[in-house]
Chains A and B, each alone.
Chain A
């Protein structure tokens, strides 16, 4: 008897588990979302990113702005006219929040606002986040946390894809592929080591997120050792290049 009751209960549970799924359809109301599938490492699988890091460390010294492009896609049918969408900074009260006009060009700027819209007959656009080189970036990383917001043309599509963060700084940050790729040639990462490599080995604008060809990595390793030897010899009283932590900067010698 019990067995029959259990079976009936299980069948009832089966029905309870089934409910109508609320699927977001692309041909319904106009909605917007951040779409930033990128290669974290070139050659790897594309993955959706919810943030992007930028550093003026790797930007030529006489260049005072740097632009990060953030992609926004629209759902629903296209229209024959431009459709602005809503966007705003949401971390203005936080410590190290990016400050408009100090760390980035605000969204209501005449130039930038031209891009805060889905163009006529299109379903996506890219917003220029124009970052400004400010001396406060030498000390700390600042964050611009932004969110899409509803307006008369678009609703926000999905909470998970409604927010995006751009981080900016002016010091060397550890590349994502350092341990997997660059450590072979340069050893453990350090900010002073990074600065030295930029200034004496690889130059500004170097793409640290690109996997090196082994032969090229060997060339950089040889050059790094050679240049470091010269650099240390130029320092007074037997000083050597050190990290802020006191660790002496060295490169693999074999």
Chain B
């Protein structure tokens, strides 16, 4: 094989190898990057609030809301970005009567790994404890009726509360705003 041909093959191999590497990196990091960008935009609309482990409540989505694509105008959203580095996360709140509500958990890769909806909840409130694989099974004294194991140390809690009629906004929003998330303390819930 001549030196020229060898160089062409080497160049093609470098090009192909880099292309495959960049493709895989871009593909796997895209959901995370898009999620971070969306959360940055969401947070920008609510200044002076903790960045993580705190629930933020939003009103009815309108065309003016440009942070997350394809929002549902029928739902009131509450979001909590979590970081389980310093302990498990406790999510709690009241459940509205006769309307849909769900508590959905997403890993940092955007997978929806846990959902609890009002049909699964006995009573008029919910409580979910979120831990990571390394700590699953271990307890610090705190318990919750529902438990979830996050596939990643960071992620998102998204609570959806259905607002079927605008006339019910005040009462449904009042229930929505009881939703909270925080890191579990050693002395229980």
A binds B: no
